Amino acid sequence: MVDIKFAYWVPNVSGGLVISKIAQNTDWTYDYNTWLAQIAEQVGFEYALAQARFIASYGAEYQLEALATVAALAPVTERIKLIAAVHPGLWHPGVVAKLGATIDNISKGRFALNIVSGWFKGEFTIYGEPWLEHDERYRRSEEFIRILRGLWTENDFHFKGDFYRINGGWVKPRPINQNPHPEIFQGGNSKAARQMAGRVSDWYFMNGNTIEGVREQIEEVSALAHAAGRTIKFGLNSFILVRDTEKEAHEVLREIIARADTEAVEGFGEAVKQAGASTFEKTGMWANSNFEDLVQYNDGFRSGLIGTKEQVAEKIQQFHSVGVDLILGGFLHYTDDLPAFGREVIPLVRELKSHRQATPELVGVA
């Protein structure tokens, strides 16, 4: 099994990664994110994911647009892969294919996309765009991905779907150094999201969850991908809180929740629970999230990466053992916590893997 990889949420949206009034040593500005991306790739992070927000929601008053952010980070970084989140419906896939290929060339093959089918109705209606029903949003996203792939790999691509038409399109220059095209991520928790991932996506992002909850999703989506003649990789959202003692880490967590911005959390919860509850099986994103879960807006507390560096490293390896290929981390104090995680926890994760690989050989020799 290959090493687990590490990504971080780019804090390109104000308010940090928790909906709380607790002080956070982080910032949303471009200069700060340039510094952070350079530090992240130095300490072992392989990916950075820029969020996509368009209007103020849950306290996120300022937002740097995701595609523009990763384009600007490309020339000031060297190794880290830059993922931009994109909403079908607010973008046309042909335009994104061209933008993505351009950024990929600027970054020398380090561009990737996260396709977000959408949960925030206001971001569509404020721009006069129609708000589709849940499963229809995923059908549109699937067409979006199929078009991206076609435009990135074919010279005369045609597509006739329910949402898009492409009449002999192409993109040149093509993306470089990626076979056959830049990696495509998606999230979601519903049946529609899982089925779409199995058919077309390279990576499936999961909200924070328990080991068993993660195992169940991986088994189902892997089977769906296998049925489609494909393989897929898995990323897990986690809020990472490492302190010298377990007690200290959980005290910080309690303070984050105690100082939650109640109005913003409830507003966020009203928006996202509508999205989850709108699925036929009532298992969409955030359908079962409680108030505390929603303080970290992708259920990041549920993954349990909260404690000492040894405890967190062990938990990461447990997730890896059930099939998680990437940890997507958010932090309270990005300035301090992200570099410390890279320097102190990532090496521990690698050591644990090496030790476990060596142990069976030692037993066999005995």
Q: Is the pLDDT of residue 87 over 80?
A: yes
Q: What is the pLDDT of residues 235-260, one digit of tens each?
A: 999 999 999 999 999 999 999 999 98
Mean pLDDT on 188-206: 96
Q: Given this model, what pLDDT does residue 362 score?
A: 41
Q: Minimal CA–CA distance to 242: which of 319, 305, 150?
A: 305
Task: Indicate the fold that domain 5-365 takes in CATH.
Answer: TIM Barrel (3.20.20)
Write the pLDDT tens digit of every residue in 131-140: 999 999 999 9
Q: Is the pLDDT of residue 19 over 90?
A: no
- 208, 236 Cβ separation under 8 angstroms: yes
Q: What value does the mean pLDDT take over residues 73-77?
A: 98
pLDDT at 297: 79
Q: Which long-range CB contacts under 8 A does 288-291 form with residues at least 24 apart?
A: 291/260, 291/265, 291/266
> What is the average per-residue pLDDT within 275-290?
59
Tell me the C-alpha distance between 118 and 137, whole Å. 7
Who has greater pLDDT, 296 or 133?
133
Q: What is the rounded CA–CA span in Å between residue 80 and residue 8? A: 11
**pLDDT band at residue 366 using 50, 70 and 90 as cut-offs:** very low
pLDDT at res. 272? 66
- Output the pLDDT for position 274: 62
Mean pLDDT to the nearest integer, 347-353: 91
339: pLDDT strictly greater than 80: yes
Determine contact, residues 331/341, Cβ cutoff 8 Å: yes
C-alpha to C-alpha distance for 79 and 74, rounded to whole angstroms: 9
Residue 104's contacts (CB-CB under 8 Å, 6 or more residues apart) are: 110, 111, 175, 176, 178, 182
259-276: average pLDDT: 72
Q: How far apart are CA 130 and CA 127, in angstroms?
A: 9
**What does the pLDDT average to over 44-50?**
98
How far is Cα 50 from Cα 255, in angstroms, rounded to an integer? Answer: 27
CB 14, CB 61: distance < 8 Å: yes
Q: Please report, rounded to a whole number, the percentage of residues in the chain having pLDDT higher than 90.
A: 77
Instruction: Give domain limits for the chain.
Output: 5-365
Query: Does residue 261 surpass a pLDDT of 90?
Result: no
| 15 beta partners | none
Residue 157, pLDDT > 90, answer yes
